[in-house]
A and B are shown apart, each in its own frame.
Chain A
Amino acid sequence: MSKEYDREFETKFQETTRLGLEVVKESEEDRLMTLSVGPQHPGSGHFRFTIKVDGDYIVYCDPDPGYVHRGEEKMSEYRNFIQNIPHLERPVIHDSTNITYSYSLAVEELLGIEVPRRGQFIRAIASELNRQVYTLYWLAIYGIFLGHSTMFMWPAGDRELFIDLLTALSGARVTHAYNIPGGVRNDAPNGFKEKCLQYVKYFEKRLVEYEDIFYNNPLFRQRTENVGILTKEDAINLGVTGSVLRASGIPYDIRKVEPYDVYDEIDFKVQYMKTCDSFARAYVPFLDMRESCNIIKQLLDKMPDSGEVRLKLQSNPKGQPGESYKRVESGRGALGYYIVSDGSPKPYRVKISVGSFRNILALPHLLIGSKLGDMPSIYWALNYWPVEADR
C-alpha cells in the first residue's frame, strides 16, 4: 500500500509543482478519514459511533451510546411497585411485554407470591406474541437498510396481525402495560384462542415466502455471508447474548437454561447456527420466529380453559427486605432485573440488565478490518436497540 501511495504522491507532486503550488507530504495518520455515524442518521437509530476509514477499510471504531438515557433505574426508586410498570416499558416499546415480564417475576419473588396457572399461560403467550412483533419490526429495518423495500413492507404489515391479537388481549397497540406483579391485568376475551391459532397458521405460511424473497435472495446472501465473523471464543469473551450468541454456535436460551413460569412444560428446540457471520445473525431470529409459532400453539393447547389470572394484592404492596434477580429471553437476548427492597412500598434499587448493551460491545470487534459498505449489515444484525441500551 505504501509503494502505491508513494507513486501517487509523486504524480501529485509533479503536477502541483508545475502549477507552482506548495506540497506537504501527509503522514499515515492524516490519511485516515474520520466519519461520524449518527445520532441523527436514520441508519443508526439514536446512537452514534465514530469510525476512521483508510480507503474503504474501517481501522478504528468508537461506539458512543447514551443519547437517549432517561434514568429509568433512578426513576424506579421514587415510584411504588405497580406505578413503575408504564415507564419501565418505554425503553423498548416494541417489546414492552417482555421488559415488564422479568420485572414482574422479580417483584413477585420479593412479595413472596405465586401467579395463578392460567395467568402464567396468558403472559407467556403475550410474551411470545410480542417477541414476534419486535422481531418483525427489526427485520423490516434490516431489510430497508440493505436496500430491500419489499422486506420492509411485508414484516411491517404482518406485524399488524400480532398487534391485533395483543390489542384484543391488553387493550393497547404498542405499550401494553399488561404484565403486573401478581399476573396479568385482565383475562383473554372470548374467541381469542381460535383467532390466535388462525393468525399463527397464516403467519407460518408467510415465513416460507420471507425465505424465498429475502433469505435465499442471492443479493442478500452476497451482502451478509462471510461478513463480520464473530467466533465462538470471541462471542463468549465479549459476553454477547441472544441471537448474536446463538449465531456463533452456542445454543443458549434463557427459556431453556432457566425456565420461568410454564416454559419447562413446553417442548421446543433452541435455534442456533455455526457459520458465525452476519447471515447467521440475521437468520437465527427468523428461526426463532418459526419456533415461537410452535410455542404459541403448544401454550394455547395446554392453557386451562378457566381460572384466575391475577392475584388480588393490597393496593400498595410492600416487598420483603431482600434482593431478587430474574431474567427472561427477550427479542434481543437475556433481559434481567435486579431489585433490592428495604421493606417499603418502593424499591430501594433497580438495575436493568439488557441484551442490547452487551451486544454493542461486539461492534468495534466486528467493524475493524471490514469494509465501509458492510457496516449496515454488521450493525443491524447485532439486534441492537439504542433506547434500551441507554435505559
Chain B
Amino acid sequence: MASSIIKKTTTATGFIKAIESGSKHLLLKRFTLRFPEQKLKFVGDGYQFDPKRGVGIAGARGRHILFHEKCTGCQLCAITCEGIAEAIGMVKISEKWKQNKKGIMPQIDYGKCVFCGLCVDACPFYALFMTNDFELSSFTKEHLIYTPAQLAVKPKYDGSVDIKIDKRGAWHG
C-alpha cells in the first residue's frame, strides 16, 4: 500500500540525510543553460507539413519561412489564423509570379502570432513552413511585422547544445 512507502525517520537522521543529499550537488556540474552563449539544438529545420499525407514533420516552431515560387495567394493561411491570432494579413507584392495571379502573399505580425503552426497545416502548396529562429525581439511594434520579402530569408541558427546525462548527473553541453 502507498502509505507504507514512507519511511519513518527520526528528526536527526532526517536532517542528516537532507544535508547529505544536498551537499552531493556541490561537486556536480550545474544544469543551467547559459543562454546567449549556449543555444539548444532542435530536431530538424523546423516544423513542416506534408499535405498529401496529411501529417506534419517534427521540428521546432519558430518564425515562418515563405517560398515565393510556390505561394499562390490562396489566403488559406490567413483564413485559418482569423479565429486564432489574426496575425496573418495578405499584402500586395511588387514582383510577378506565374502561379500567383492576384499578386498577394502573407505578411505575419509576430506581436500577435502564437506559434501554433496551424497555418502551416492549412497550406496545400508546400509554401509556408516554420524555422528554428525564435529570437524575434525588437524595440518597436512595427519591426515585429514581417513582410513577404523578410519571410523568404532563411535564418541562420547554430544551436548545438544538448542535455547530457551520465553518472555525475545532467548538464547542458
Contact = CB atoms under 8 A, between A and B. Distances in A.
Contact of A157 (B31, B46, B54): B31
B112 to A, nearest CB: 12
A160 interface: yes
B3 A312 contact: no
Contact of B17 (A164, A169, A216): A216
Contact of B58 (A87, A169, A313): A169
B122 A171 contact: no
Interface string B6-48: 1101010011011011100000000111000000101110110
A215 to B, nearest CB: 7
Interface string B102-122: 000000000000111110011
Interface of B: prevailing SS: loop
Interface in A18-46: none
Interface residues of A, number: 53
Given A185-B121, A213-B22, A171 B163 contact: no
A212 B61 contact: no
Interface string A155-171: 00100110010011111
A273 B170 contact: no
A112 interface: no
Contacts of A287: 2, 5
A148 B6 CA distance: 20
B143 to A, nearest CB: 23
- 10 residue pairs, one from A and one from B, having the closest CB atoms: A186-B56, A312-B54, A83-B83, A171-B61, A212-B21, A79-B83, A86-B116, A189-B58, A218-B14, A177-B116
30 contacts: A82-B118, A85-B116, A85-B118, A86-B84, A86-B114, A87-B84, A150-B22, A160-B33, A161-B163, A171-B47, A171-B59, A171-B130, A187-B56, A189-B44, A189-B58, A199-B165, A202-B165, A212-B17, A212-B21, A213-B22, A215-B6, A217-B14, A218-B14, A218-B15, A271-B2, A272-B2, A283-B6, A284-B2, A310-B54, A315-B122
